[in-house]
Amino acid sequence: MGKIMRAAITLCAALFTFSALQPQELPNYDSLIRKMGLVDISTLDKDILVELRYATTNNFMQQNIYGELRKAYFVPHFARKIAQAQQILRQRKPGYRLLIYDAARPQSAQHRMRQAVEGTPYTAYVAEASRGGRHNFGVAVDLTIADKDGRALDMGAPFDHFGREAWIGDGRNTTLQHFKAYIAQMQKQGIISAEAAANRTLLVEIMDAVGLRPYAKEWWHYQERVSMSRTREIYKLLDF
């Protein structure tokens, strides 16, 4: 049995165990997040689309871990960066819109996500809830681009895909030039199509223009050019 097949079986077993749990009633995340001073992105630009995947069962856990939360929240200056990115996209591709899949994530939701992958090869993709990742501080966004009809563009791999097809860099270099070259190489190797490569390049260029860079193994995840240790020092953990 190959490594990928064994990993897939392990993850499926973990998800089955997770889905069998009876989660406690989820808190009103909207109210708690607003009290922390975070901003609803729709108040800055109503053209930005929001489809929080973890508020549905359309995610790798097949579980709704956000309850009734439907809005994308960020710390104020980070929200402004995303709104600026939408303005740039509007100029480059009239009618196209950013589509947000995930935003600020409460610590309790992070715990449930980590629980789902514990003991599998995918723990590297989900930060431990005790310390929190960038989403747990409201300074990370998972997003794509939607066309004039609101349809997500082809990025070569779906959101939350665990595999090389979702990569956008080697993890050592974080310059725009590196990411663009890496995308071009993936196309050359036949890992993604020319259309997907063009779409990924468009997204990384737009987000780079507002000072955000992607996580090397997730084409959809963008964050500040600030270390994780510094992030924990200057921002408040959504510890609920």
Helix (H, G, I), strand (E, B) or coil at 220: strand
pLDDT higher than threshold 60 for residue 67: yes
| CATH number where 201 lies | 3.30.1380.10
Q: pTM of the predicted model, to two decimals?
A: 0.90
Measured CA angle at 97 (ends 214, 79), to 5 deg: 55
pLDDT of residue 118: 86
> For residue 68, which amino acid is it?
E
Answer yes or no: is 239 within a domain. no
Q: Strand 140-146 to strand 218-224: parallel, antiparallel, or no bridges (unpaired)?
A: antiparallel
Geometric angle at alpha carbon 46, from 218 and 208, rounded to 5°: 35
Which amino acid does the sequence have at 210?
V
pLDDT value of residue 125? 80
Mean of pLDDT values over 75-88: 98
Give the model's pLDDT for residue 208.
98
> Which structure tokens are listed for 167?
């990569």
- The answer to whether residue 240 is domain-embedded is no
In the predicted model, what is the mean pLDDT of the chain? 90
**Is 77 contained in some domain?**
yes
Residue 22 has pLDDT above 80, yes or no: no
| Per-residue tokens: 112 | 């449930």
Q: Above 90 in pLDDT, residue 2?
A: no
* Whether 144 contacts 159, CB under 8 Å: yes
Average pLDDT over residues 135-164: 97
Number of independent structural domains in the chain: 1
Q: Does residue 224 lie in a domain region?
A: yes
Residues 89/131, Cβ–Cβ less than 8 Å = no
What's the pLDDT score for residue 152? 98
Which pLDDT value is given to residue 100?
99
Structural domain including 187 reads 3-234
pLDDT above 70 covers a percentage of the chain that reads: 90
Mean pLDDT of the 39-63 span:
95
| Structure-token pair, residue 30 | 């909207």
Q: At residue 101, does pLDDT exceed 80?
A: yes
Most confident of 2-6, 85-89, 111-115: 85-89
